[in-house]
A and B are shown apart, each in its own frame.
Chain A
């Protein structure tokens, strides 16, 4: 699915069609006439035919719309904002998260928190990271603000829990290291915009 159609936010009244419903009957005679006309015109039978046709389709062609949900799942749009995933760098397997804390800051329901520290390699390391899914409203700001595309909304949308506040820790969201090859690059919410290259002014490098 391309993102272009989602980026068009020019939804206005020009896309609506006005329906001519005529004038409602006023006098008793008019009402009576309306009833008779409608009864005789067979509109009622059109309705009956439509549902009968659907029933025949269902039974004969097996044209059923029901998704047997727990056994059968529909593919989900990349823009859908489900439970977060923390991604790794594909080459090294290191965390993409650099612990900048922007997600923590931008989170409007204040449900992200992280602990960082100075590690042995003189780098900033995320020692603990958690999202309180009891509070998270899945607005997607964290994914949008993340400069490293480290936190994204993944496809896992089944998040019913026995408790109101479900916490998720870093390890729960992180791509398992042995499944690194299955890690999907994310083209949905918060992804690099299609015209990102045009927006960047080049920085001269001396080497």
Chain B
């Protein structure tokens, strides 16, 4: 068997960890970006159907190329930076949002480990682990990265010299920080049960059929996490950061073109991240044993994504004060109580 350099690299790929990770990172970046873009199309379509409209129809079949049109528009649009803005911060703020969202994705598993079938040239037989980097503190890392994403909107709003931006930034700080607490507390109970922070361990914890899913043991934690997830991703009914009727466009008021687009790629990436976490932590994740494990988790992720759109179509959003009231007076106490009860049950 003739060995070329290429073959050598390919066969040794799993071993050359750094290179494998880079390739995975690129794949994640590309795929998730594409999905984020496609998500906008899906969102518009789903919302349209729920309001008995047609949604985008004119660009490509069923408006499928609308994403391309939007992309071209975003890339070619003038990048306006306000005169009195802090230019440097204004420019990097969207990158923080997008970057943190993608970095968070680096430690979430999306499908089971697999080996690339032999019949595929070049890559055949290569073992692919389920995750870009299986950190032993996976959950903590993801939540941390998402929390760091707060700096995107916050800095964007503060740097743009616009009162709507300031209000948007203020709301960002308040809302994200508050709900960070609920997210963390709500997911603490499952962590206690599993005894690990690794997503792979979570996945493996729930492999005895549907009944072993965490949601049955921790329904309250699930609901709390979901609510907090909506808030963290800035989705209806908690889309206060850039609520048009109140603060024009909040932290994104002065942004245009691709910089503006990056906020939304970040938002959609976050939506996917939350969907993946919810799927793995509460709905059993992927089934490593089954052939179709990757498909089940895809469906679960898709369900959560759809749920976010569904909710947006159905519910009005809440007032900022109601949001805070809900967080500190309802959700956080509930989460604490949940942890307490979980702990007592475990001790007993």
Contact = CB atoms under 8 A, between A and B. Distances in A.
Per the CB under 8 Å rule, do A and B touch in the complex?
yes
Interface of A: 28, 31-32, 35, 44, 47-48, 50-52, 54-55, 57-59, 63-66, 68
Given A44-B315, A47-B314, A52 B53 contact: no
Contacts of B326: 35
A162 B325 CA distance: 53
27 contacts: A31-B325, A32-B329, A44-B315, A47-B315, A48-B314, A48-B315, A50-B314, A51-B50, A51-B51, A51-B310, A51-B313, A51-B314, A52-B50, A52-B310, A54-B49, A54-B50, A54-B51, A55-B46, A55-B49, A58-B50, A58-B52, A58-B53, A59-B49, A64-B53, A65-B52, A65-B53, A68-B54
Contacts of A63: 52
B314 A57 contact: no
B148 interface: no
A23 B124 CA distance: 69
Contacts of A31: 325
Nearest to A63: B52
B52 A48 contact: no
Given A48-B310, A51-B314, A35 B330 contact: yes
Contacts of A50: 314
Interface in B317-344: 325-326, 329-330
Interface of B is mostly: helix
Contacts of A32: 329-330
Given A59-B49, A63-B52, 15 more contacts: A35-B326, A47-B315, A48-B310, A48-B315, A50-B314, A51-B310, A51-B313, A51-B314, A54-B49, A55-B50, A58-B49, A58-B50, A66-B52, A68-B54, A68-B57
A84 to B, nearest CB: 33
Nearest to B50: A51
B335 to A, nearest CB: 16
A203 B325 CA distance: 80
Contacts of A48: 310-311, 314-315
Contacts of B49: 54-55, 58-59
B330 A54 contact: no
A52 to B, nearest CB: 7
Contacts of A59: 49
Interface in B300-316: 310-311, 313-315
A47 B312 CA distance: 10
Contacts of B330: 32, 35
A54 to B, nearest CB: 5
Nearest to B312: A51
